[in-house]
Amino acid sequence: MRYGLKLAFSPNPIQEYFISGGNQIIKRWQINTWEKLQEISVPFSATDTFDLWFTSVAISPDGQLIAACKAYQIYIWNLGEVKTLHTFGKTVFSNFLDASGFDLVAFSPDSKLLVANDNQNIKLWDVETGREITKLSGHSDKVTCVAFHPSNRKILASCSYDKTIKIWNLDSKICLETLSAHRDAVYTLAFSPDGEIIASGSNDNTIKLWNFDGGKILKTLQQHSDAVTCLVFNPDGKTLMSGGNDGKIIEWKINDKESQTFPEQHRRGVTSIAISRDGETLISGGRDQTIKVWRR
């Protein structure tokens, strides 16, 4: 999962762009013209060991900050700048033998917090000051994905190689609930826009939809023939997009089990998908090092 493009769309309708993270370079692209606006290079350094690829990218909800993770280092830039605003280090030795990655970054809904995994722990930083403010511990294996509740920055969901999903309260640093039903590692999760549903994708090739209030499984979706690696809800909340190691991108209707497989696959697997604010454009990236642009 390390070696493939990672993508993020700007949530700001005034500044429509997306970013892609690849081998040592982040590129910023203009939507509609698809012209490259900027390149940010983070070349090989002594801390990189064998890892040159960005493993996660994120754009703050206000569209003004870009964050990325590479070789256990986290970088934050102001939009349009190449000099970093902050650089955060993680625990190199706790991750050194992890050959399959899933190092990640995500912003809170108000753009004031940044969250990242540190092996089986989760760390949060204050974006303005760069100060580490919280560490959450509870997973028994590598954390693979985190997602903030879309309207409540105090609530965070995480998933892990340990086959579980955990819901956290950031004020109390307490795990409110642990969701267990997947038969293998959980690789990705996403909140629905209204925050009522959590979708999770696993190495067991399934997607599960959970009721956030109570943790009940609403349905299990299965059409991928390999691990589900990335998920994103359409902004209207009616459909869910999934990408997998089988190279497929599938659109699921939330209210029933109807699905539609996109007509073209990525070779060697999908590593990232992102959708525009209006829900009309989806971009996908894979280990084939291509970005595909899809329009409704």
- Would you list the DSSP string of 2-32? -SS-EEEE---TTS-EEEEE-BSEEEEEETT
Q: What are phi and psi of 47, to 5 degrees?
A: -85, -5
**Quick one: pLDDT at residue 12?**
83
Question: Is there a contact between 22 and 41 (Cβ–Cβ < 8 Å)?
Answer: no
Nearest to 53 by CA among 95, 24, 27: 24
Rounded CA-CA distance 57/273 in Å is 11
**Quick one: pLDDT at residue 16?**
86
Burial of 159 (0-12, 13-18, 19+ CB in 10 A): buried
Q: How many CB atoms lie within 10 A of CB 216?
A: 10
Rounded CA-CA distance 96/91 in Å is 9
**Quick one: pLDDT at residue 92?**
63
Specify the length of the chain in residues.
296
pLDDT along the chain (296 residues), means of 10: 82 88 92 91 65 88 93 91 90 58 86 93 95 95 95 95 97 96 96 97 97 93 96 96 97 90 92 94 93 92
Rounded CA-CA distance 42/74 in Å is 11
Question: Is there a contact between 221 and 259 (Cβ–Cβ < 8 Å)?
Answer: yes
**Quick one: pLDDT at residue 214?**
87
- Looking at residue 46, its amino acid is A
Q: What single-letter DSSP state applies at residue 102?
A: -
Residue 92, helix vs strand vs coil: helix
Report whether CATH 2.130.10.10 matches the domain 6-295: yes
Nearest to 3 by CA among 126, 95, 100: 100
**Quick one: pLDDT at residue 56?**
92
Is the torsion defined by CA of 259, 189, 156, 233 positive or negative? Answer: negative
